Amino acid sequence: MTTSYGIYKTGFGEVAIAADDKGVTALSFQAGKCPLAPAQDWVEQQTPILQRAAVELNEYLEGIRRDFQVPLNPAGTEFQRSVWAQLRQIPYGQTWNYAQLAEAIGNPRAVRAVARANGANPVAVMIPCHRVIGSDGSLTGYAGGLELKAKLLGLEGAAFISQPELL
């Protein structure tokens, strides 16, 4: 199965999106801590899935879209995929903490494993790991950086405690 990718300009910076025939496999803000580095066998080309993903992402970043319809196909363990599926259930404009996420997947003692799975999410925004914050309401790590996480949560109107360095 061929993986295609493209680099797209958005109001939030350059974004790389990768997809195979089944759906989006990766989405990364290129200025963040984990920019997408295409594998040797990936092809830079436009596909219907990539085009749809780029349109939906721009609509979200412009405040027009709240939910994504483009199919997703991230690679991960069964546990990671269960966490990522639950992340997609966090409503737009709301935040959860890691304990709530662990409870929601039916494994309340797996808070640290849930946090690791959240951090390993390869499809930023469309799998909304940015909606997970600390139990005290503060921002926690984000591959795109805390400033971007604050902007995304602000776009959604979500409540969180902003660190002074992000203002």
From the list 118, 163, 121, the residue with the least C-alpha distance to 139 is 163
Concerning whether 34 is annotated as a catalytic residue, the answer is no
- In 3D space, the residue among 128, 134, 137 whose CA is nearest the CA of residue 155 turns out to be 128
- Helix 111-119 / helix 78-87 crossing angle, nearest 10 deg: 80
DSSP code string of 113-135: HHHHHHHT-SBTTTS-GGGB--T
Task: Tell me how far apart the alpha carbons of residues 75 and 24 are, in angstroms, rounded to a whole number.
Answer: 10
Classified as helix, coil or strand, 36 is coil
Q: Which of 129, 133, 139, 158 is catalytic?
A: 129
Token pair, residue 156, equals 């959604």
Residues with Cβ within 8 Å of 165's Cβ and at least 6 positions away in sequence, in order, are: none
Which residues are part of the catalytic machinery? 129
